[in-house]
Amino acid sequence: SSGLMHGKRGLVMGVANDHSIAWGIAKALAAEGAELAFTYQGEALGKRVTPLAESLGSSLVAPCDVEDLGSVDSVFSRIAEAWGSIDFLVHCIGFSDRNELKGRYADTSRENFVRTMVISAFSFTEAAKRAAALMPSGGAMLTLTFGGSTRVMPNYNVMGVAKAALESSVRYLAADLGPDNIRVNAISAGPIRTLAGAGIADARFMFNFQRAHSPLRRTVTIENVGGAALYLLSSLSEGVTGEVHFVDAGYNVISMPRPDDIKE
Ligand code: NAD
């Protein structure tokens, strides 16, 4: 470790367990000396997240369900009390009713559309506004997206629409917060076996397909995402904002598989 994040503090939202992308990011940041606060959704996950947080030396671990804006406010006021300011925000939160992560997008219900948008897209804007208030001398923010935002993936459905909104939010937030020296970026990760990933129908097929058809002939790990996150949250990327950075073994550049790859 070169201590790239030494003296930097930040909040990581979205660790559920040690398979979570947020956990891969937290490990990469902590290894470079960052001091981390964590949020968890509900007490059941709190029992998993608290020991993980402690293993990285974190003592600031707070419940936060982004559907309850009061719990978001209380996390940021706890951080303000404990630290006064932060240097970075990591948002790895997404949700949709799994009954609508299959079949046709056209069948999405209004209720789940709104809920998916609020949790998976707008919660980043709400967190970003509160985090920015704690970044008097600048900072960096990161959220997680997926290529189903711009191109159709079977079953990803309303989540793809929410990710499109999230990616657009990244650009608008980058413009709003840039004058305050706050950078806002997203990582578009390839499929990874996580709790959230398992909610998508035929997730295993998507995983295997992308592995077979990516330039690198593999899928990515949470450690791969952690490395890119370290770049986007550290001084290494001081000239980068409003960007959606793919960490997907190159899958997004492929238009069609090679004929030999699809021989039955
Ligand atoms: P995960 O299940 O480990 O993490 C999802 C997190 O979202 C959990 O910690 C969960 O508690 C949290 N969450 C859901 N609803 C919430 C709410 N109302 N309030 C607070 N937290 C809530 O799965 P993951 O794959 O690590 O997901 C993290 C992010 O990465 C998500 O935005 C997901 O869409 C994105 N992503 C995942 C993949 C993949 O293949 N796994 C690929 C690209 C992007």
Q: What's this model's pTM, rounded to 2 decimal places?
A: 0.98
**pLDDT score recorded for residue 247:** 99
Rounded Cα–Cα distance for residues 207 and 219 (Å) = 7
Residue 94: partners with Cβ closer than 8 Å, 6 or more residues away: 119, 120, 144, 159, 162, 163, 196
**pLDDT tens digits, 134-172:** 999 999 999 999 999 999 999 999 999 999 999 999 999
120 CA from centroid of ligand 1 (Å) = 8
Q: Whose Cα sits closest to atom 13 in ligand 1?
A: 93
70, 77, 128, 173, 202 from 73: Cα distances, Å: 5, 6, 12, 19, 37
Across residues 170-176, what is the average pLDDT? 99
Residue tagged 């039955």 (tokens): 264
First-to-final CA distance of the chain: 46
Q: How does the average pLDDT of the chain come out, rounded?
A: 97
Alpha-carbon torsion 83, 84, 87, 88, what sign? positive
Nearest-atom number in ligand 1 for the CA of 207 is 40
- Asked if residue 193 belongs to a known ligand binding site, the reply is yes
Rounded Cα–Cα distance for residues 176 and 106 (Å) = 33
Across residues 182-209, what is the average pLDDT? 96
Q: Inform me whether the pLDDT recorded for 219 exceeds 60.
A: yes
15 CA from centroid of ligand 1 (Å) = 8
**pLDDT score recorded for residue 1:** 72
**pLDDT tens digits, 32-72:** 999 999 999 999 999 999 999 999 999 899 999 999 999 99
Nearest-atom number in ligand 1 for the CA of 22 is 26
**pLDDT score recorded for residue 264:** 55
**pLDDT score recorded for residue 192:** 98
Reported confidence tier of residue 189, pLDDT bands at 50, 70, 90: very high
197 lines ligand 1 (CB under 6 A): yes
* Substitution site in 12, 18, 21 for ligand 1 pocket (most atoms within 8 Å of beta carbon): 21
Q: Could you tell me the domains of the chain?
A: 9-250 (3.40.50.720)
- As annotated, the active-site residues are 156, 163
C-alpha 192 chain-centroid distance? 12
